[in-house]
Amino acid sequence: MNNETFVHLEMHGSADEVKAFIEGFRLASGEQRVYSTVRENIKIDGFFGSLISKAHGSTHFVVPSDFSGQLGEAVEAVTLIDVRVESSRPIDHGELNFEFKCFSHSDGVAIREVVETELPEGVVLEGYETDETIDSDAEGAEMYSPVHEYVLIGRGQFHGPIEGIIAMGRRLDDQDFIHPGRIHLVYSH
């Protein structure tokens, strides 16, 4: 991953037609880094912004800025379907909050490895807090009992280039005890 500029692209038109157009253009251009905000769990400007987008027939993507420019030119030439670029906003970085809770030491080790090691280039972990409790008097208690021999609770936020944040979102989604929030886009000024 590099420091390439990405944009939040809002496309207007039938969702199916927009997705098909984007996918066809992506395949023809060879660009692999086209991210659907729905698929990648990326938050769109709050609850009301999301409602307005749906009411206006908008579909959102995160794409490299050069791809966005080429796509804009292609959209201008389209005559068979009604699609258009509604907006294109440069992204400075992304943020992803997460929290976790587990009751097994081996799960705790696995969680720490996922969260603390091999972060994508440029991604940093901020506000990371954990609380680990070992209660030997509760040894043998089952997972659904009110007391546990081992409890690990934690939370934090990843901050960095949008590609790295999307990669972390995917990594956290694959874990049973880690609960990622939605990716938040921070726009360039």
The domains of the chain are located at 6-91, 94-187
**Average pLDDT of 63-67?**
95
- Please determine, for residue 136, whether its predicted confidence score (pLDDT) is greater than 80: no
**Average pLDDT of 149-159?**
94
Domains 6-91 and 94-187 share a fold: yes
Query: In sequence order, what are the residues at sequence separation of 6 or more whose Cβ sits closer than 8 angstroms to the Cβ of residue 67?
Result: 26, 29, 31, 33, 34
At the top level of CATH, which class does the domain 94-187 belong to?
alpha beta
Could you tell me if residue 88 is left (phi over 0), alpha (psi between -120 and 50 degrees) or otherwise beta?
A: beta
Alpha-carbon gap, residue 165 to 159, rounded angstroms: 7
**Average pLDDT of 164-189?**
95
Question: pTM for the full model?
Answer: 0.86
CATH code matching the domain that covers 6-91, chosen among 3.30.70, 1.10.3470, 3.40.1000, 1.10.10: 3.30.70
Alpha-carbon gap, residue 188 to 28, rounded angstroms: 29
Alpha-carbon gap, residue 179 to 187, rounded angstroms: 25
What percent of the chain has a predicted confidence (pLDDT) above 70? 87
